[in-house]
Structure 1
Amino acid sequence: MRINIIFYSLYGHNYKMAEAVAEGAREVEGAEVGIYQVEESFTPEIIEKMGATESKKRFEHIPVATVEDLSESDAVIFGTPTRFGMMASQMRAFLDRTGGIWSKGGLIGKVGSVFTSSATQHGGQESTILSFHTTLLHHGMIIVGVPYTQKGLATLEEITGGSPYGASTVAGNGPNTRHPSENELKIARYQGRHVAQITKKLVGK
């Protein structure tokens, strides 16, 4: 049972969330988990001006995703920051290269799930995940979110990301800002574990 996590991250917030998702998925017996990042479109000069050079180095060891990483998986968990209430352009560019897989129905019946981050508490986390689902549905994927058995979704003790649509974190704007909280990481681990459990039932492994 192969579960691939494919993310885009600029300052490292979504990378940390991806690692937590992977940790949860690995708890399920039989799960082989891969982590990939989508190709960066910003030049090194732009990344430097955005103050993200050092952040990028923390996960430069993560391989770049290919469309084969989609077709060879049983489930794919995508992670993207929010850009004006939608996915980042780098993730959109990656998905726009999946027409060949779509024409062959290569992702039909596979599990799809999404996590995200935003600069502010109400910065479009839910709309980003929900609009991302549109692409997954066009591919015929089975969408899995985070049910309310994950109690951290309902906490009123702190500002936190996380919704029934998927894990998320309030990241702040720019480098050296807020890191994912333990509650947000718990939700991300739960999402990874839940996706793996559902996938295991579907593939019968």
Structure 2
Amino acid sequence: MPTGVALRDARQQLFDAAERVLLRDGPHALTSRAVTAEAGCAKGVLHRHFADFDAFLAALVADRAAARVEAAATALRDRAGTGTVEDNLADALVGFFGPVTVALVALITFRDDLRARLRADTPRGIPVLTEATTALAAYLAAERAGGRVVPGAAVDVLAPTLIGAAHLLYADRTGAPPTPADVHRTVTTVVTGALPAAP
């Protein structure tokens, strides 16, 4: 007798199921059995599409977090020279640290085998956070070239400082996420010395 239901787009339905489990129950609860039970399909469906569970999780990270980080990075890059540097950075951090990305970073930290697999593409730092750091550094460099960040500003230090500070704001999955004002205050504190003095 068949187990579960037929899946039209098995990969996306498995990713959706994994996201629900991750957000609801946390990284420790994310197992292949939990994912397939949530998707309402047989466990073999996952292994028909992925070599093993860590391959599935790596694909989940790429599908859910990498796309969000890239979209936020593109939006940030397009805002260089407009608005204020502080507003642009705060908006980007709010975009980077949505609930799914925060949960995936916790998953990457929790699972050594997944982190090792992702290191093939991201040899340093924590995958996802490293890409977000690169995006912030590129934006700050563009603003420095345009004169909206002081010439000597160390964007390679400012970017990871911003990501680390924001990650600490968002890392508590049990409480309410920080408000945009909390994020903006953090950004202003970090970058104030790197911005030209007001005329």
TM over 0.5: no
Structure with the larger RCO, 1 or 2 (CA within 8 Å, 6+ apart): 1
Greater Cα radius of gyration, structure 1 or 2: 2
TM-score using structure 2 length: 0.30
Greater strand fraction, Structure 1 or Structure 2: 1
TM-score using structure 1 length: 0.30
Greater helix fraction, Structure 1 or Structure 2: 2
